[in-house]
Amino acid sequence: MKSKPAWTRAIGATAMAAVAALYIIPRAGSDSNPVNIAVSRMVPVAVIDSATMSDAWDLPNLDNPRVDSWVTRFTTSPTMRRTLAIWLDRKTSYDDMISTKLAERDMPQELIYLAMIESGFNPKAKSPAAAGGLWQFISETGRRYGLTVNRRVDERNNPGKATDAALSYLSDLYDRFGSWYLAAAAYNTGENRVGRIMRETTGSERGTDADYYRIAKRLPAETRDYVPKMIAAARIAKEPDKYGFEVPETEARE
């Protein structure tokens, strides 16, 4: 899966979204209403933000009010601002390792921010749902992707091994859904749920990044904000001085 220049991918994503609005092909045996699908496809829920798009982005940098809302929260709420500053500082410890592994797989570099919003780059983080580590795997999924998780050893807390497992999982999700935004949503809330909602809403599991916003209202609240939060964190991290954050030392040397 070779990467293309960011601007060509952005144009391609826009073109695909436009074509999707015109051609509605329900799956055979689907109960989806073609009229409802057509209406949902025509709603202009996400567009390319030309002001922020640059060759530094691998993921489409889609503009959406939810992204703007998270940028505002991260930059104006004292608590969230302090939290993001801590995350940005911790990020420098994992930048090289995760970036290298992403590059080896030709995966978007911005997926590093998925780890940021999952764990705040705390390799020993644990969630109320018993997810653990840098990428917040539950035990079952961790084992499915090659991690040892038992009473004596928990490789979810090993940053390198957990990153390998997470990127394999995300790659499989991308192959299923055809979109990194949808892959991220599935990573958060479960692939079968995203697949079912996509089939019911668009007639197909596979879609575009813009489809994430088309199905967002049917996703759990946490997942509805999952990608916007990731993109907002990426926007700030790419231009920290613009938002009044101190530039991490490793980035200041670039």
Residue positions annotated with a catalytic role: 118
Which tokens sit at 96? 């090289």
Q: DSSP letters along 126-179, please? A: B-TTS-BTTTTB-HHHHHHTT--BSSS-BGGG-HHHHHHHHHHHHHHHHHHHS-
In angstroms, rounded to a whole number, what is the distance separating the alpha carbons of residues 249 and 103?
Answer: 22
Q: Decide if 7 contacts 57 (C-beta within 8 A).
A: no
CA pair distance 200, 203, nearest whole angstrom: 6
Amino acid identity, residue 60? P
Pairing of strands 62-63, 47-48: antiparallel
Cβ neighbours for 124, distance < 8 A, ≥ 6 positions apart: 132, 133, 157
